[in-house]
Structure 1
């Protein structure tokens, strides 16, 4: 597994850091932390996947990101003066994280300055991705947004080349990620199923023809 935020370390150094981290386990649906909570730890996902949600100005909870193995949680709070969680994160499946306190992570960065540079690069990429999603919400039709989010999710859930990808998310989850309503998302998914690109099952979407789905986004 590639530990994205720790790739500046040697294999031996990475193993040493992860060996000292606290192992935490979360059940499906369990909250890792809430938006606005005080932040004092960074989590590295060892197993499982989580969903990040934020509260809209209207008070609605909106999903915006699925995070999987090798990625970090809580890194935004590392560079925030408020030291508060910027989103609510819940486990989509049984999930194991390895956590370090901010003090421990600061010591790690002091010993390996490249991690700070990498953190800045990753956060900049995340800001760009969110900006891209905002532009999509303003200028792209719903069908294109739904297709793009499904393709993004394929990268999270793929198990090997040229295989079907099963995405174990509800249509409501996909609608939130696409910035669309559930009825509109259902209409798009039904059309994709009719074209033989996906198969819909209770609580999941199976991508049958990923190449064909990619062509729909052109």
Structure 2
């Protein structure tokens, strides 16, 4: 099986792309984007498709993954609102190297390549921001790839759960988190293991008092305790 990362949450980048733009320049760009919505598990785009649009997530989370010839999936990461999808492929005019699937209801703004190039030509500051953003993404990819492929499956599972989790209502400290609507098969694909391994590992995490689970719902009892478990497993 190829190395599989533990699905880091990709931080928002649209703020970098629009940094320093005045109101008129921002509106010029926004006027060239159209809104789209996707249901949970809907495909935003597929690996191998022409990269003819830029996708800006405005709400919800998306999983980026690559499917190998063997059928195995390599999870690249989880994206949140503010993330830009397909930027590098759009600039290089290469087919998409990743697929994107909605993990929950997702809304996005989409810009065609023609409009994107027009924005670069008409708004010099936007052009510079995109150049800087591509450099940042390249550096982050290098920094992230080395350590993550060395993580054990248990660490990848815990990190993935943490990335997927939402804060429980009424928990002011934000320590109690929950993951809803995710099947063990989907979680196995993200971590890069079998469904049976996921079932056993979740049972062990529950035995250790780190989580509780029921069908379609996982509760992280304490984010701090889960973080401590991850650190301990990495240092073991």
Normalising by structure 2, what TM-score?
0.77
What is the CA–CA distance in structure 1 between the aligned matches of 2:31 and 2:175, rounded to whole Å? 34
Q: Do structure 1's residue 145 and structure 2's residue 156 form an aligned pair?
A: yes
- C-alpha contact 1:5 1:71 (8 A) present in aligned 2: no
Matched, 1:108 2:119: yes
1:94 equivalenced with 2:105 (yes/no): yes
In structure 2, do the counterparts of structure 1 residues 11 and 26 end up closer, same or farther at CA, with 3 Å as the change threshold?
A: farther
Q: The residue matched to 1:39 in structure 2 has which SS? A: coil
What is the deviation of 1:214?
Answer: 0.5
Q: Does structure 1 residue 24 correspond to structure 2 residue 58?
A: no
Please list the CA deviations of residues 151-171 of structure 1 after superposition, one character each: whole Å capped at 9, or x if unmatched.
Answer: 3334xx447752422223222
Q: Which has the higher contact order (CA 8 A, sep 6+)?
A: 2
- Please, which of 173, 177, 181 is the counterpart of residue 190 of structure 2? 177
Q: Secondary structure at the match of 1:20?
A: coil
Q: Cα distance, 1:22 vs. partner?
A: 0.9
| 1:164/1:195 CA distance change after superposition, 3 Å | same
RMSD (CA atoms): 2.5
The count of aligned residue pairs is 211
1:144–1:162: structure 2 CA closer, same or farther, 3 Å change rule?
same
Runs of 4+, deviation exceeding 6 Å: none
Counterpart Cα distance in 2 of 1:17 and 1:27: 26
Deviation larger for 89-98 or 11-20:
11-20
Residues 50-129 of structure 1 aligned to structure 2 (within 5 Å): 50-81=62-93, 83-110=94-121, 111-112=124-125, 113-129=128-144
Counterpart-to-counterpart distance in 2, 1:64 and 1:202:
26
| Shift in Å, 1:127 | 4.3
1:190 pairs with 203, 214, 233, which one?
Answer: 203
Shift of 1:36: 0.3
Once the two structures are superposed, what CA deviation does each residue of 1:91-116 show, in whole Å capped at 9, x if it has no partner?
A: 22221110112232233344221221
- SS of corresponding position for 1:97: strand
Q: 1:46 and 1:185, CA in 2 relative to 1: closer, same or farther beyond 3 A? A: same
Cα offsets for 1:164-186 (capped at 9, x unmatched): 22223222222222222222222
Q: Distance in 1 between matches of 2:149 and 2:184?
A: 20
- Long gaps (5+) in structure 2: 1-11, 232-236
Q: How many Å apart are 1:37 and its aligned residue?
A: 0.5
Distance 2:83 2:173 in 1: 21
- The residue aligned with 2:47 is 35
Structure 1 regions of 5+ residues with no counterpart?
A: none
